[in-house]
Amino acid sequence: MLSINYLKRTKFLKARLPIIQIAFIILLLCSAVSAGLRCQLCGRDISGTYFKSTSGEVYCESCWKSHSVCSQCGKLVLSTIAVNGANLCRDCYARMERCSLCGEPLVGNYTQYLKLGLKVCSKCEREKPRCQKCSVPMNEAIKIGDIVLCQRCAEKTERCHCCGEPLLSNYTFFEGNQAAKYCDKCTARYPRCEDCGAPSGPYGTKLDDGRYLCPDCRRIAYFEPGMVTSIKQKVQSFINYNMGMTINHQFDFSLQGQDFIKRKAKDIHGDINGLFYRRGDDFSIYVLYGLREKDLIRVIAHEISHAWQAENCPKDMSLEDQEGFAQWVAYKALKYFNNDDFAALLTHGDDAYARGLSMMLDIESKGGPKAVFDAVRGDKQ
């Protein structure tokens, strides 16, 4: 007897399903013949007009006029409970499914959110605030900034790695690290970390030479020359034994600030994180303090490669060949020491470093590492 029409609406959620219930219809029967009929409610014999419900109960006229009809089961009862425009007997009221939000019985139209297992009465559909992310009506709205979210969406929303605010629209991540996303506000507000490029944030560190580091990089950055020695040694032996590159000159190695390296690099091309500096037969390699291990591997391998070039390559090498080869050695060192993702970042961009590296990788893919060495040795081979 209960008719449910499923109508699909896709405006908010695919899983939202309005349901229309049509309640019992009372059949009214008038009859002059009443032999043997008793009123189901008062128990009196019926004479004259009587009323019969669709489920077969018969009632006398007096009971019919003084009692209420349950709009769900069609029975005549002493009193009904009014819910959402319907009048329900106690039994029906107790048995009805409830709205997931207000707890009232679901009478008439309601909406089902299948995925969430929610059934929402038409009143709540109309009146409750809606989550601005999933559009589902809710009892408790969580307000974040100007945005109102349901509990589920608020919990699921990723947060800015810097300020902790939910990331509702645009965000940025750095060095391909999707585990740390930054909101546009923080990205615009804070100076960038010189190591990873992310906003340094309220707990960032400003170094003596004016560089900023984010707390993540600061934690793993190297400042003591003694701590860098072992990294320098492992890169050097990778270059000697794995790459087969020997450098005959002794070279000084030191950690320096940005100002020092910039001053030394005047008129000499060099990447700002490190510098190979030559005066006659005096070779020096300067590397910035405050770098992470992977930065140190990259910079040390790069600068040692320039020292090797000074002994093995023609002086008129193009900038792209020069930097491309040094980046190629750095790339191979990073991969050797399990920094594949960081190595891959070296090919990004459109400067002499990235273009030169791509060129070297191309030569290597066709003729192996030997072809790269042949290419850069030029007439010195």
Pairing of strands 50-52, 58-60: antiparallel
Q: Does 343 bind Zn ion (CB under 5 A)?
A: no
Site size toward Zn ion (CB under 5 A) is 32
Tell me the per-residue interface mask from 41 to 70 with Zn ion, x by CB under 5 A, - otherwise.
Answer: xx-----------------x--x------x
> What is the Cα Rg of the chain in Å?
40
Answer for which of 76, 99, 313, 333 binds Zn ion (CB under 5 A) is 99
Tell me the per-residue interface mask from 133 to 172 with Zn ion, x by CB under 5 A, - otherwise.
Answer: xx---------------x--x------x-xx---------
- Rounded to a whole number of angstroms, the distance between the first and last alpha carbons of the chain is 95
Answer for which of 73, 141, 243, 359 binds Zn ion (CB under 5 A) is 73
Binding segment (CB under 5 A) for Zn ion, from list 240-248, 285-293, 321-329, 333-341: 321-329
Give 195 or 295: the residue with its C-beta nearer to Zn ion: 195
265-284 residues near Zn ion, rule: CB under 5 A: none
Give 73 or 307: the residue with its C-beta nearer to Zn ion: 73
In the complex, least distance from residue 367 CB atom to Zn ion, rounded to whole angstroms:
23
User: Measured between alpha carbons, how far is 81 from 76 in angstroms, rounded to an integer?
Assistant: 13
Contact 328, 359 (CB under 8 A): no
Burial class (CB in 10 A: 0-12, 13-18, 19+), 263: exposed
User: E-assigned strands of the chain?
Assistant: 3-6, 16-22, 50-52, 58-60, 68-69, 76-77, 81-83, 86-88, 110-113, 118-121, 142-144, 147-149, 171-174, 177-183, 205-206, 212-213, 251-256, 274-279, 282-288
Answer for which of 23, 118, 131, 307 binds Zn ion (CB under 5 A) is 131
Pairing of strands 282-288, 251-256: parallel
In the complex, least distance from residue 41 CB atom to Zn ion, rounded to whole angstroms:
5
CB atoms within 10 A of CB 53: 21
170-209 residues near Zn ion, rule: CB under 5 A: 183, 186, 193, 195-196
In the complex, least distance from residue 92 CB atom to Zn ion, rounded to whole angstroms:
3
How big is the chain, counted in residues? 381
Where on the chain is the footprint of Zn ion (CB under 5 A)? 39, 41-42, 60, 63, 70, 72-73, 89, 92, 99, 101-102, 121, 124, 131, 133-134, 150, 153, 160, 162-163, 183, 186, 193, 195-196, 214, 217, 323, 326
